[in-house]
């Protein structure tokens, strides 16, 4: 058995999870994971309940990229991706099974597991997340928020090149602990498209392939060159990545009004399509608290991807300025505006 600690959860798995740093076995396990043993799936896997969710995104055959079914008694959820990869998760987020067909590999399965599947597990356990990357600056977390393709991972990798620790590449926890919103570390890896790897490191081949079946690359944060922030830290600022601008004024930082900030965070909450009315109400409470207590800013990148280090510089300058002021505006004032 292998032990690991990601997103604040103590995990025990029958096989090591690729790209995840092993940890000492814990006396208490939050999540038990079974990888690649189809026979270990509960018999419920072979049931055919009605669909609970089907993604709008379709594969090349016109089938939903992801279909989720739920057992009649609500005891488990089955997640099936169009490439045949399957996950079964119990409703409490304490047990998870995964299986995949050939020629897919455990590395392919880990791309789902460490992103959307773990995001769903966290939701089942009551932790809401942002679709974001996060870096550590002065024992505080800066979240880089935005939809797929906004440049979150690229910007996080640029921060890593500058010597800053990276907490997470895609899922940022908003764990409410002791009156603070806490970002828990994920795993020591940043996933990058070839063009981002080339812009940052000169050539895509400078970084290894994430899986044998995909052209995406990864930046290893577990080595000597770059740093993984392995301890949880409080969330101190949120930067929403805007559209790249071919303009001399970019990169730049813009203020975001509280109402607009709330809209941005709701739009970038992780897996909103999987939340029922109760979960959406709790999500609204958590995001309202984030807007009320944490500065939310808009970062406008320049058009040249190779100059992402300049974006990091303007974010750092703005963050340090906010820190000297305490906050961008009075927290009570922000709370009243939400």
Domain stops at, among 90, 124, 158:
124
Same domain, 27 and 58: yes
| Structural domains of the chain, count | 2
Same domain, 265 and 297: yes
- What is the reported pTM? 0.91
Q: How far apart are CA 201 and CA 149, in angstroms?
A: 19
Same domain, 171 and 233: yes
Same domain, 203 and 231: yes
Instruction: Give the CATH number for residue 280.
Output: 3.40.50.300
pLDDT < 70 regions, the chain: 37-49, 327-338
Domain stops at, among 94, 124, 154:
124
Q: How far apart are CA 41 and CA 316, in angstroms?
A: 47
Q: How far apart are CA 167 and CA 189, in angstroms?
A: 9
Same domain, 98 and 152: no
Count the alpha carbons within 13 Å of 200 in the hemisphere toward its beta carbon: 30
Q: How far apart are CA 193 and CA 321, in angstroms?
A: 32
Asked if 245 and 302 touch (Cβ cutoff 8 Å), the reply is yes
Asked if 185 and 168 touch (Cβ cutoff 8 Å), the reply is yes
Same domain, 161 and 97: no
Same domain, 40 and 93: yes
Same domain, 161 and 25: no
Q: How far apart are CA 23 and CA 222, in angstroms?
A: 13
Would you state the pLDDT for residue 331?
A: 41
Instruction: Give a three-class secondary structure readout of 254-268.
Output: EECCHHHHHHHHHHC
Domain stops at, among 124, 152, 175:
124
Same domain, 320 and 188: yes
What is the extent of the structural domain holding 57?
Answer: 2-124
Q: Which helix (H) or strand (E) holds 290?
A: helix 277-293
Same domain, 195 and 313: yes
Same domain, 91 and 9: yes
Q: How far apart are CA 99 and CA 80, in angstroms?
A: 10
Take residue 294 and report the two structure tokens written for it: 């944490």
Would you state the pLDDT for residue 307?
A: 87
Q: Is 48 left (phi over 0), alpha (psi -120 to 50) or beta?
A: beta
Longest CA span, the chain:
60
Q: How far apart are CA 281 and CA 294, in angstroms?
A: 20
Q: How far apart are CA 151 and CA 98, in angstroms?
A: 29
Asked if 294 and 238 touch (Cβ cutoff 8 Å), the reply is yes
Same domain, 291 and 238: yes
Which residue do the tokens 């930082």 mark? Answer: 253
Q: How far apart are CA 176 and CA 91, in angstroms?
A: 21
Integer angstrom CA distances of residue 318 from 114, 151, 263, 297, 323? 31, 19, 22, 9, 9
Would you state the pLDDT for residue 119?
A: 93
């Amino acid at each position: 058995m292998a032990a690991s600690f990601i997103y604040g959860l103590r995990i025990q798995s029958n096989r090591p999870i690729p790209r995840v740093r092993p940890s000492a076995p814990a006396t208490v396990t939050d999540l038990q994971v079974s990888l690649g043993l189809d026979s270990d799936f509960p018999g419920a896997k072979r049931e055919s309940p009605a669909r609970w969710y089907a993604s709008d995104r379709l594969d090349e055959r016109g089938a939903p990229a992801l279909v989720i079914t739920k057992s009649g008694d609500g005891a488990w959820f089955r997640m099936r991706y169009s490439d045949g990869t399957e996950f079964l998760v119990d409703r409490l987020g304490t047990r998870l099974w995964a299986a995949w067909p050939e020629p897919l590999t455990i590395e392919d399965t880990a791309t789902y597991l460490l992103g959307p599947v773990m995001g769903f597990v966290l939701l089942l356990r009551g932790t809401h997340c942002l679709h974001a990357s996060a870096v550590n600056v002065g024992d505080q977390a800066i979240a880089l928020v935005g939809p797929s393709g906004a440049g979150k991972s690229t910007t996080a990798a640029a921060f890593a090149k500058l010597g800053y620790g990276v907490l997470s590449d895609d899922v940022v926890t908003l764990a409410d602990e002791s009156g603070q919103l806490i970002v828990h570390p994920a795993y020591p890896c940043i996933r990058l498209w070839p063009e981002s790897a080339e812009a940052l490191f000169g050539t895509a081949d400078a970084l290894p392939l994430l899986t044998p079946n995909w052209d995406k690359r990864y930046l290893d944060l577990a080595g000597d060159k770059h740093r993984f922030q392995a301890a949880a830290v409080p969330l101190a600022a949120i930067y929403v990545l805007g559209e790249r601008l071919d303009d001399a004024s970019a990169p730049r930082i813009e203020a975001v009004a509280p109402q607009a900030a709330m809209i941005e965070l709701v739009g970038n909450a992780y897996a909103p399509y999987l939340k029922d009315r109760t979960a959406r109400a709790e999500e609204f409470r958590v995001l309202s608290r984030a807007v009320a207590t944490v500065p939310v800013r808009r970062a406008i990148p320049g058009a040249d991807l190779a100059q992402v280090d300049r974006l990091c510089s303007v974010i750092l300058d703005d963050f340090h300025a906010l820190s000297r002021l305490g906050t961008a505006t009075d927290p009570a004032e922000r709370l009243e505006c939400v």
